[in-house]
Amino acid sequence: MTERKPLISGNWKMHHNHFQAIQMVQSLSYQLNNDDYSYCDVSVHPPFTDLRSIQTVLESDNIPISLGAQHCHEQEKGAFTGEVSTGMLEKLNVKLVIVGHSERREIFNETDSQVNAKIKAIFKHGMTPILCVGETIDERDAGDAETKIKNQLIEGLQGIGKDRVGKMVIAYEPIWAIGTGATATPADAQEMCAHVRNCILEISGKSPSESIRIQYGGSVKPVNIADLMMQNDIDGALVGGAALEAESFARLVQYRLQ
Ligand code: PGA
């Protein structure tokens, strides 16, 4: 069985200007300083305007946290006002890029084929995609959650080699749980993450299905993270609200020490 190192990621969405972000990361690093948290990887995903500042802080203070982005454009360069390419992110030492977050899909109408193109662009520049999938409450109530997720995975991963798929991160994020305080129960989250792994087995084969890391996201908090992380198919968490403050983020990372 492949050993999968858990990944705890903080998605700051449109919060924290670069001054606040610097302060937050310094405070997070201070709070984690005396703890051994080498059992997991940690990433922060600030807004674009903070990336350069956070890169400098992480590198100059040797903080073992990976820099992440929340979004990218699929083209290398061109007349795409307001967009940022994966080549630009790579130059900032960004390691992980969130793609297909439900807010991007719902508010900005991102399609599965754009998501697919973005994943290819992220790999082209040596970074790791965190592909988000998840169902709405209506889809869940109608019994369509599994099918929705399977389709998002099939379309999102089209034409991506199995070695690459095995290195990816999938974030299963039920849309009804994002920012609502209504977390999926550990058993429900496990069932859906196992479904994701099963889909990867069908799409790309055994080895990628065993090595791919699957995060759960949706109202993860310091009080519920440990139970979620104990589940067999949950290899990490993608966290919004509870990752905004240093103390709370530190407690998420320390889920094994509580
Ligand atoms: P939340 O957000 O933790 O605030 O629910 C999660 C996400 O959107 O990734």
In a domain, residue 19? The reply is yes
Strand partners, 239: 10
Whether the CB of 238 sits within 6 Å of ligand 1: yes
Pocket test residue of 99, 225, 239 for ligand 1, highest count of atoms within 8 A of CB: 239
Cα gap 255→258, rounded to integer Å: 6
Element (H, E) at 248: helix 246-253
Residue 137 CB coordination number (10 Å): 14
CATH number of the domain at 190, please.
Answer: 3.20.20.70
Cα gap 105→100, rounded to integer Å: 6
In a domain, residue 1? The reply is no
Whether the CB of 134 sits within 6 Å of ligand 1: no
The half-sphere exposure of 8 on its side-chain side, counting CA atoms within 13 A, is: 25
In a domain, residue 59? The reply is yes
How many domains is the chain partitioned into structurally? 1
Residue 122 CB coordination number (10 Å): 27
In a domain, residue 2? The reply is no
Q: Which domain holds residue 106?
A: 7-257
In a domain, residue 154? The reply is yes
3-state secondary structure of 96: strand
pTM above 0.95, yes or no: yes
Per-residue pLDDT of the chain (258 residues; tens, 9 = 90+): 578 999 999 999 999 999 999 999 999 999 997 778 899 999 999 999 999 999 999 999 999 999 999 999 999 999 999 999 999 999 999 999 999 999 999 999 999 999 999 999 999 999 999 999 999 999 999 999 999 999 999 999 999 999 999 999 999 999 999 988 888 899 999 999 999 999 999 999 999 999 999 999 999 999 999 999 999 999 999 999 999 999 999 999 999 986
